[in-house]
Amino acid sequence: MENMKTYNKYIAAIALSLVLASCKAPMATVIKDEVKENIPQNFNQEEQQDANNNSGTTPWRQFFTDPNLVSLIETALKNNQELMITLQEIEIAKSGVLAKKGRLTPTVSAGIGAGVTKAGRYTSEGAGDATTEIEPGKEMPDPLGNFEGGLMANWEVDIWKKLKTEKESAVAHYLSTVEGKNFVLSNLIEEVADNYYDLLALDNQLDIIQQYIKLQQKALEISKIQKEAAAATELAVKKFEAELAKSKASEYTIRQSITEKENQINALLGRYPQPIVRAKDSFMSTIAPTVYTGIPSQLLANRPDIKQAELELKSSKLDVEAARKEFYPSLEISATLGLEAFKPSYLVKLPESIASSLAGELAGPLINKSAIKANFQTADARQIQALYEYDKTILNAYLDVANLMSKVKNIDQYYQLKSQETKALDESIDIANQLFRNSRADYLEVLLNQRDALDAKMELIEAKQKQLSTVVDIYKSLGGGWK
């Protein structure tokens, strides 16, 4: 008896040693996040920004004042397919949270079953059944039936908080999909606004080319009159005819671009082609709103793509922690409670037909841990990858704002100079036409002046479009648009 007790102690000691050995787990890789820690104090070292003024916090309905553009954005937010797809990603992530949460509670199921067993007569089970009397004079039936029904429960006790960690990871991923939706909103508003300004620019370019065609038609008529009066040659007439044909061809090119741009906007709005309501006459007089950048650290809170990357980093770190806890033993408890008998009529005989069980199992990996190690190494690599992605998102966000701030200043100066150039060339056209009528200027001078004026006006319209679009882009880069 003493030997048996000693033997059992040795077995228990060995089992405990093995369980403790299985608890040894590797540590996650830790990398210092220098990009976030070293983010500059200002976007431009030559200027100080005010943290209290940040256009990124302005709601888009206040930022955009054109009622036609506001209406287009509202339609896009209701119908855009990419946005609808992103909303379903949120629902998928939400279901993932519920699934992880469900693993924290016991699983209870109900079931019924029936079967029949015939044991060999010369086995311990068969011999026992043959000599057993259920009631006086009634032997155990052969073959032996079995009828049962009841409740079964299984529960993995979260002794190492592994399941809780997995749930927290799922929650972080869910929140990242919400920020992803906000980033899609911000991009969508930017795309609609940029394409809207592109369309207005094309409308104004079409007006300019039509005005230019009328001007060339008059110049062609004058050249024909001068030819008849022997003041010009057939070459001048053909040159004006060729320029007129070139301008008319350009008109159709612009019309095609307008059609494509309208359809591009309609695609963003999730609808079939239809006219885009807009007021083109006020385009050149539109004043771009002033943008205040705040300070770089505010990007961490305002830009949804940065917050999305941060939450994905948090989720990946929790995944590493959960994978690490796979090296620890797990405790599972199972229990059953129900009725069981070899005849259906005996199921109602209580308490004889009541059957129950309760068992607990503590088990951990010992020898072959390759799958668990591989899972941990994968999770560890992904959390490092997520950190680099987070750092890249912060760096790109800072560079976006810094580049666009410079672009806003330069495009304003460019627009002012193009305005002066256009005004001067408009005056030169009148002078050249007057000299041509009086045969004091060559037709080539008229053509060159008209071409230069047309190019300058086209470039002035493009400058206005870039001026407005750049303001929209910097608004989005500051984290505006999704609120």
Q: Write the pLDDT tens digit of every residue in 111-158.
A: 998 888 777 777 776 666 666 666 665 666 767 778 888 999 999 899
- Domain 107-119+141-157+330-363 in CATH 3.20.20.70? The answer is no
pLDDT of residue 440: 64
pLDDT of residue 10: 47
**How do the domains of the chain map onto residue ranges?**
28-105+161-325+369-478, 107-119+141-157+330-363
**Residue by residue, what is the 3-state secondary structure of 394-460?**
HHHHHHHHHHHHHHHHHHHHHHHHHHHHHHHHHHHHHHHHHHHHCCCCCHHHHHHHHHHHHHHHHHH
Angle at 380 between CA 374 and CA 382, to 5 degrees: 105
pLDDT of residue 462: 96
Task: Check: CB of residue 163 under 8 Å from CB of residue 100.
Answer: yes
For the chain, list residues with pLDDT below 70.
1-23, 45-49, 125-140, 142, 231-232, 436-444
pLDDT of residue 348: 82
Task: Check: CB of residue 414 under 8 Å from CB of residue 459.
Answer: no
Classify residue 1 as exposed, middle or buried by CB count within 10 Å of its CB (0-12, 13-18, 19+): exposed
Centre a 10 Å sphere on the Cβ of residue 59 and count the other Cβ atoms it contains. Answer: 11
pLDDT of residue 17: 47
> What is the CATH class of 28-105+161-325+369-478?
mainly alpha
